[in-house]
């Protein structure tokens, strides 16, 4: 990628002993590019020379900056970074993220899909949409999420933690 702030894919390191890294390298015409991911600590040289750089860090999403890149603006100067997967199954991990507008929030909805199966919708949305959907889902059970949650902090829509139960229908 040309800048770390445009990275829209995240991954979970496979082993607990791995750390995050960011690498800056050049291609033809001296164009600087970046690569990031997980590495074993033995691979970490933390070097910076000849237009190249390899830095390691330990912590969630710590490699969104480094090697001369500032990464994302501070949280008060931007919207949240949210997981952004429009349809995924119960056992699938969302690995796409999106930088939301400053007037947006992260959302996650969990829907039933047949018997004992669920699918999720994650992304950015307007704060008012969350309020309207929540009140509408309390009135109707058809296509209503079994869980709907909106939140304001980075990566907060990884789990659906706010459960809304549908009203009982007597008929």
User: Minimal CA–CA distance to 36: which of 78, 8, 74, 72?
Assistant: 8
Strand order in the sheet with 47-49: 32-39, 19-26, 52-57, 47-49
Q: Which segment, 33-47, 77-91, 122-136, 137-151, is predicted with the most confidence on average?
A: 77-91
Q: Is 162 left (phi over 0), alpha (psi -120 to 50) or beta?
A: beta
Q: pLDDT tens-digit profile of 130-153?
A: 766 554 445 445 568 889 999 999
Tell me the C-alpha distance between 108 and 158, whole Å: 8
Query: Which pLDDT belongs to residue 91?
Result: 84
Query: Which pLDDT belongs to residue 166?
Result: 37
pLDDT reading at 50 higher than 90? no
- pTM score: 0.79
User: Minimal CA–CA distance to 123: which of 89, 149, 86?
Assistant: 86
SS3 41: helix
1-15, 112-126, 128-142: least confidently modelled range: 128-142
Query: Which pLDDT belongs to residue 60?
Result: 81
Give residue for tokens 């490699």.
63
Tell me the C-alpha distance between 169 and 141, whole Å: 9
pLDDT reading at 83 higher than 50? yes
């Amino acid at each position: 990628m040309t800048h770390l702030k445009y990275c829209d894919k995240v991954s979970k390191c496979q082993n607990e002993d791995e750390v995050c890294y960011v690498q800056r390298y050049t291609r033809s015409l001296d164009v600087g590019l970046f690569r990031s991911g997980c590495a074993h600590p033995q691979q970490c040289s933390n070097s910076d020379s000849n237009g190249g750089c390899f830095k390691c860090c330990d912590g969630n999403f710590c490699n969104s900056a480094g090697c001369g890149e500032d990464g994302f603006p501070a949280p008060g100067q931007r919207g949240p970074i949210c997981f952004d997967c429009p349809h995924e199954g119960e056992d699938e991990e969302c690995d796409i993220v999106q930088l939301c507008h400053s007037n947006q929030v992260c959302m996650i909805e969990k829907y039933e899909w047949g018997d004992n199966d669920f699918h999720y919708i994650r992304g950015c949305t307007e704060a008012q949409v969350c309020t309207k959907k929540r009140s509408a889902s309390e009135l109707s059970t058809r296509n209503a999420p079994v869980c709907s949650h909106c939140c304001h902090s980075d990566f907060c829509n990884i789990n659906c933690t706010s459960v809304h139960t549908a009203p009982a229908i007597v008929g």
